[in-house]
Amino acid sequence: MNENINDITRSFGTIYIPRSALVVYQTEGQHPQTYIEHFDMDDNGSPINAHPLTVKEGQALAKALNTEKEEQNKAFLRPKGIIPTHVLHIHPSENGSVVWYTQPQIRPMFFIDSLGIPNGKAHVPAMVWKADKNGLSVYALSSGIRPKAETSLYFAPFPNVYEDNRVCMGTVDVKIQQSASLEEFMHVWEESFFNSYFSHLINGHNPVNGNCVTLWKELIETQEPFPKEVLIKNRLTLKDLIK
């Protein structure tokens, strides 16, 4: 071997050695039948020992193909560190669901022009959020104290929310990654909710005592704290969300 030639194979990273191969055969016609042949590989990477794919070999193949999905599912809703104190409940599953709350805060808010409400920042009340990969429901709280199981919930005082507390996201495309951490999951839903344009009261549902449009117009213009007296109880408590 030429001493001037360097062996660089180690710089290639992980090396995968061929161990087996599959050949799929199908008959012609509208309803083709399928037959799968399995080959072992010799030391030179050539196929040998052809035989029909066995149940055991098929199961091993299925397990290998599912590994990546299983790893993603394990990562979904996994906290980056200690579980945040504002998380109230986690239901681990393929879709997953989380219940959490947020303190009263100031948020940028956006409204369609026809409502006559200027875009801007406003005080919003403490809220409870419940979300999975497919949807979001929101509720209001009368105080920023961490809610307990018996804590009463109120209608979220915003347009775009159904009477059953589900949020109409309109044309907003909420993308929840399969491997999203717990913190990323909550952040995406909160940002999607407040960064979308509020447009209408759904099916005539008015979530506040008074005029919802007038309320937000005044809060945007005055920067006053959110008036808790306008909140309406919705007959639910926190424990109703975590059954």
pLDDT tens readout for residues 98-148: 999 999 999 999 999 999 999 999 999 999 999 998 899 999 999 999 999
Do 166 and 138 contact (CB within 8 A), yes or no?
Answer: no
Domain locations along the chain: 15-75, 87-241
Mean pLDDT value across the chain: 85
Do 141 and 131 contact (CB within 8 A), yes or no?
Answer: no
Q: Is pLDDT of 210 > 50?
A: yes
The pLDDT value recorded for residue 74 is 59
Q: Which residues on adjacent β-strands are paired with residue 40?
A: 20, 48
The pLDDT value recorded for residue 95 is 73
The pLDDT value recorded for residue 211 is 96
Region 4-12: mean pLDDT is 48
pTM of the model: 0.70
What is the Cβ-side half-sphere exposure of residue 126, based on CA atoms within 13 angstroms? 15
Do 208 and 232 contact (CB within 8 A), yes or no?
Answer: yes
Q: Look at the block and give the residue holding tokens 């347009």.
A: 159
pLDDT tens readout for residues 62-109: 666 554 455 555 568 888 889 999 999 998 776 789 999 999 999 999
Do 231 and 215 contact (CB within 8 A), yes or no?
Answer: no
Q: Give the separation between CA 161 and CA 170, rounded to whole angstroms.
A: 11
